[in-house]
Amino acid sequence: MIDARVHIGQVCFDNPVMVASGTFGYAAEFEGLVDINAIGAIVTKTVTLEPRPGNPPPRIVETPSGMINSIGLPNVGVEQFITEKMPFLSTLTTRIIVNVAGKVNEEFAQIVARLDEVPGIDGYELNYSCPNVKEGGLSFSADPAIAEKVTKLVRQKTKRLVIAKLTPNVTSIGEIGQAVQNGGADAISAINTLVGMAVDINSRKPKIATITGGLSGPAIKPVALAKVFELVQCVNIPVIAIGGIMSWQDALEFLIVGARAIQVGTANFMDPGAATKTLDGLLSYCRENGISRIVDVIGTLKT
């Protein structure tokens, strides 16, 4: 038996493999396709204060070794999330992290305060990094002062786990990481998508309605690794790695670099079992290498 548990803040996760926001719906969509409770944590699609229709199509395009999305935060809003999505999520035995986004600073805290009245939620991932909305969006994690302030406002509203999700679309992700740490975040997740673009050479039109979108998939893994490595050196709180993880070998690279946990994202669109297969691969690797606790792999990079 391998001990796969990892601790982040006061929360114990059965294993370090989570599913990334926006790639696993609200989990009910995957019922019957995969053993959802075998996944270390479900991070929900972003929830906002009011319902949002999202962006016009086309919203997604495949690119070499990845994809670009501009979904635009479509969701039912916090009240319907509580009545329509929480009943299924609260039946799960795995950890539940709700990803939230506000248009303005105070809105993050307002949404978290409302969700904090609801049982069955282990923590919040603050989406400081959506590249696809006009208002707010990237600004929350492009400016360290704003990132710190919003994190402080949220921290005042909850004792549950607070994870700040950062964008790679900045000069110094380490500086933003320190800011959210100062604001009281328990952990950082990184990275969200990189701003990207694709053009149809026949119509000469952008392939995405909003012209640019967020690039994800294997194409961004080396960038994500470098950003996670930078963060691990700059902060004392745990870092949760996201970015192009398609296999257990990819996940292992991030753990070696120092990530406490990882999130599988784009791979879920190709295979609903991507996260559980990633976990199985990590456990086999530990067994074959005489490693009894997964945490013993974390931060073992030889430089």
The residues that are catalytic are 130
Shortest CA distance to 257 belongs to which of 303, 299, 302?
A: 299
- Residue from 193, 263, 268, 278 touching ligand RRO (CB under 6 A): that is 193
Considering the complex, what minimum distance in angstroms separates the CB of residue 265 from ligand RRO?
9
Is 190 an interacting residue with respect to ligand RRO (CB under 6 A)?
no
Distance CA 54, CA 133 (A): 9
- Residue from 15, 46, 94, 276 touching ligand RRO (CB under 6 A): that is 46
Contact 212, 196 (CB under 8 A): yes
Cβ closest to ligand RRO, residue 50 vs residue 296:
50
Contact 269, 31 (CB under 8 A): no
x/- track of binding to ligand RRO for residues 125-144 (CB under 6 A): --x-xxxx------------
Cβ closest to ligand RRO, residue 15 vs residue 23:
23
| Exposure on the CB side of residue 276, measured as CA atoms within 13 A | 13
Strand intervals (E) in 95-250: 95-100, 123-127, 161-166, 187-190, 194-197, 199-200, 205-206, 212-216, 239-242
Considering the complex, what minimum distance in angstroms separates the CB of residue 11 from ligand RRO?
22
The answer for 71, left when phi > 0, alpha when psi is -120 to 50, beta otherwise, is alpha
x/- track of binding to ligand RRO for residues 57-76 (CB under 6 A): ------------xxxxx---
Is 44 an interacting residue with respect to ligand RRO (CB under 6 A)?
no
Q: Which of residues 207-246 bind ligand RRO (CB under 6 A)?
A: 214
Helix axes 173-182, 221-234, angle to 10 degrees: 50
Considering the complex, what minimum distance in angstroms separates the CB of residue 125 from ligand RRO?
10
Is 22 an interacting residue with respect to ligand RRO (CB under 6 A)?
yes
Residue nearest to ligand RRO (CB): 214
The secondary element (H helix, E strand) that includes residue 160 is none
